[in-house]
Amino acid sequence: MSRLTVLLSFLLWPLIAFGQSEEEDIFVEANILGIFYHELGHAVIDIEQLPIFAQEEDAADVFSIYLIDTLYEEESALALAYEASLGFLAEADLREQAAEEVAWWDTHGPDEQRFFNTVCIFYGASPETREDFATDMGLPEERSEYCPDEFWQADDSWGYTLDEMIERGSGETLVFKAPDESLTSEILTHEVAQLNNEMQLREPLEITVESCGQANAFYDPQEVKVIFCTEFEGHLRDLFRSLE
């Protein structure tokens, strides 16, 4: 793994108070980052022309938690991993409360499975130091024994690509357009600057925050663009409140 010039820190950010509590803002900020990294995973697969041997959605989830483990110092990485994993559980709870069935046909795995996959990769990256994390998240031993191997598989595939991106040095290939005054824009402005400082993609990638009529974020391969819907932030706040 190529060394980054600095490991990022999440908790040391001057937190911007937008919501009802600090805990809520931490949850929302962590999940905006986790989702952004997932979409960035789709963009990297497309731009770097990576072969994918299973569901691309699963690969993008792995990229997201792999990036959290790689880019951040331990305390921040742990905080992000807790909140982003809980985001999947909250989605599952919300669906259960609404008595919605699991959409087995969906390209995304069921939220409970995305939760355990995320927890497993993060735990597997450092099982000696992340035992408490695995226990807190209820990761059963039947799964946890395979997690170090699952992490090394992720490291073998994503690590190589990330190394190449880092070896290109700093640049301006992530282009954040038309940020508004939202928390999402604040976070992505900060994040895009940090990533540009450390790496480059083969082609520029545009990132926008715009209203789409639904709480979503996606990568558009035709436009080579990540769109983060303004509606997502409110949805994340609802999710946090559903956890209480």
**Interacting residues with Zn ion (CB under 5 A):** 57, 60
* Nearest-approach distance from CB 41 to Zn ion, in angstroms: 7
Nearer to Zn ion, 41 or 124 (CB): 41
Nearer to Zn ion, 133 or 232 (CB): 232
* Nearest-approach distance from CB 232 to Zn ion, in angstroms: 13
Structure tokens at 181: 């005054």
Residue in 32, 14, 15 with CA at minimum distance from that of residue 216: 32
Nearer to Zn ion, 25 or 61 (CB): 61
DSSP state of 72: B
Q: Rounded to the nearest 5 degrees, what angle is found at the Cα of 167, between the Cα atoms of 170 and 204?
A: 50
Nearer to Zn ion, 114 or 237 (CB): 114
Sheet containing strand 217-220, strands side by side: 174-177, 205-210, 225-229, 217-220
Structure tokens at 59: 């690969």
Separation CA 143–CA 156 (nearest Å): 20
* Phi and psi torsions of 215, nearest 5°: -80, 95
Nearer to Zn ion, 5 or 107 (CB): 107
Structure tokens at 167: 């070896």
* Nearest-approach distance from CB 129 to Zn ion, in angstroms: 29
* Nearest-approach distance from CB 83 to Zn ion, in angstroms: 19
Nearer to Zn ion, 60 or 137 (CB): 60
* Nearest-approach distance from CB 173 to Zn ion, in angstroms: 20
Separation CA 123–CA 240 (nearest Å): 23
* Nearest-approach distance from CB 38 to Zn ion, in angstroms: 6
8 Å CB contact between 228 and 215: no
- DSSP-H helix ranges across 126-146: 131-136, 141-144
8 Å CB contact between 104 and 134: no
